Amino acid sequence: MRRTPIVLALLGALAVTGCSSSGAGGQQSAAPPASSAAPQGSGASFAVITHGAPGDSFWDVVKNGAEAAGKQYGVRVTYQGDGDPAKQSQLIDQAVSEKVDGIVVSMANPDALKEAIGKAVSAKIPVVTINSGADFSKQFGAITHVGQSEDVAGRGAGEQLKAAGVTKLLCVIHEAGNVGLDQRCKGAEQTLGGTVERLQVDVSNLADVTSKVTAKLQSDQQVNGVLALNPAIAVAARDAIKDAGSQAKLATFDLSADVVTAINDGEVLFAVDQQQYLQGYLPITFLNLYKSNLNTVGGGLPVNTGPGFVTKDNASQVAKLAEAGTR
């Protein structure tokens, strides 16, 4: 990913002013410094609206990043999440009606959000997209996209699984219609050199996830690898591998404290880390710069926060940060 000088400068500044970790793939995650004095902000109000369900460990870290940036810059940040794209659209419409100064939105289902995002752009409210839907961000009028290339991340996961000896992979999709999840599976398929089979599950019913993965492993013993696309799914898949008496190797996308522990214990090979804290922190930074100085970032290209890889070699370092809610 080619980065513009301003992106490099901004990320460098964040690394200097915050506490950082070499974490996954040597990438650094920045947290703002503590301050006893409240910053004198612009009075701006920014709304973060994602497709993450309340209590989801991944999205909790995104929220933490956005709120930390809000405190640092002295701006008001609200966070709301809903996995139903129709309800997510309503939340965007509500933010537009409240005349916020900027909107951050994840686009797991871009087509369903196109109209609502268009209303924000027409109202001259700057939009930064995050996480999913990078291919649609510029088309919908967003000023930039912050996230990782799901295709690139998927290919990286496939390469590592191939090196581990996986020849038939079960790719577990936990959100129907999420374009980013399908891109991850496709990417893994391109580099694995073996067979990739998809299994649709419901992230809101983890017991059923374990049951379905167990049944698949028992019925098809040629499956010797499982790729989860969510940390909660990874934990459910770990339990399924044990229940099935399978020797399948497990990898996942994204981090949680449980996943880091599982990597340390040798139950998970690796986690693809998109550093979601930055997906909350950077958009607020960019919107604040846009409001105060009309700066735009990325030059029409996404700002990548990953992929990096957390393995047993660096999991102990990342574990402390995961417990703090920044990884």
Q: Does 183 lie in the same domain as 246?
A: yes
* Whether 253 and 177 share a structural domain: yes
Is pLDDT of 26 > 80? Answer: no
* 142 confidence band (pLDDT: 50, 70, 90): very high
pLDDT value for 320: 84
Confidence (pLDDT) at 228: 98
Residues 126, 57 share a domain: yes
Task: Provide the number of structural domains found in the chain.
Answer: 2
CA distance 225 to 157: 11
Same domain, 165 and 269: yes
219 and 175 in a single domain? The answer is: yes
Please indicate, yes or no, whether residues 170 and 222 belong to a single structural domain of this protein: yes
Residue 33 domain flag: no
Burial of 245 (0-12, 13-18, 19+ CB in 10 A): exposed
Give the pLDDT confidence score for residue 1 in this predicted structure. 42
Q: Higher confidence at residue 154 or residue 323? A: 154
> Looking at the structure, do residues 144 and 279 belong to the same domain, yes or no?
yes
- Half-sphere exposure (CA, 13 Å, Cβ side) for 26? 0
User: Helices in the chain by DSSP H: which ranges?
Assistant: 5-17, 57-73, 85-97, 110-122, 134-140, 150-163, 179-192, 206-219, 231-244, 257-264, 276-293, 315-323
Exposed e or buried b for every residue in 198-207, given b needs 16+ CB within 10 A? ebebebeebe
Asked whether the predicted pLDDT for residue 160 surpasses 70, the reply is yes
Cβ atoms of residues 259 and 237 within 8 Å: no
Residue 244 forms part of a structural domain = yes
Window from 15-24, 184-193, 212-221 with minimum mean pLDDT: 15-24
How is the beta sheet containing 308-310 ordered, strand by strand?
195-200, 168-173, 225-228, 249-253, 271-273, 308-310
Average pLDDT, whole number, for the chain? 88
pLDDT at 99 over 90: yes
Q: Are 210 and 203 in contact (CB under 8 A)?
A: no
More confident site: 185 or 178: 185
Predicted local distance difference test score (pLDDT) of residue 24: 37
Same domain flag for 127 and 157: no
Residue 164 placed within a domain? yes
Confidence of residue 12 (pLDDT cuts 50, 70, 90): very low
SS3 content of the chain, % helix, strand, coil (to 5): 50, 20, 35
What domain range includes position 172?
Answer: 150-273
Residue 307 maps to a domain: no
Q: What is the mean pLDDT of residues 3-25?
A: 40
- Regarding whether 138 and 285 lie in a shared domain, the answer is yes
Q: Does a cis peptide bond (omega within 30 degrees of 0) precede residue 32?
A: no
Q: 35-86, pLDDT tens digit by residue?
A: 334 455 678 999 999 999 888 888 999 999 999 999 999 999 999 999 999 9
Residue 31 has pLDDT above 50, yes or no: no
Regarding pTM above 0.95, the answer is: no
pLDDT above 50: residue 23: no
How far apart (Å, rounded) are the C-alpha atoms in residues 73 and 52? 25
CA 3, 283, 253, 110 torsion-angle sign:
negative
- Domain membership of residue 16 (yes or no) is no
**What Rg, from alpha-carbon coordinates, does the chain have?**
19
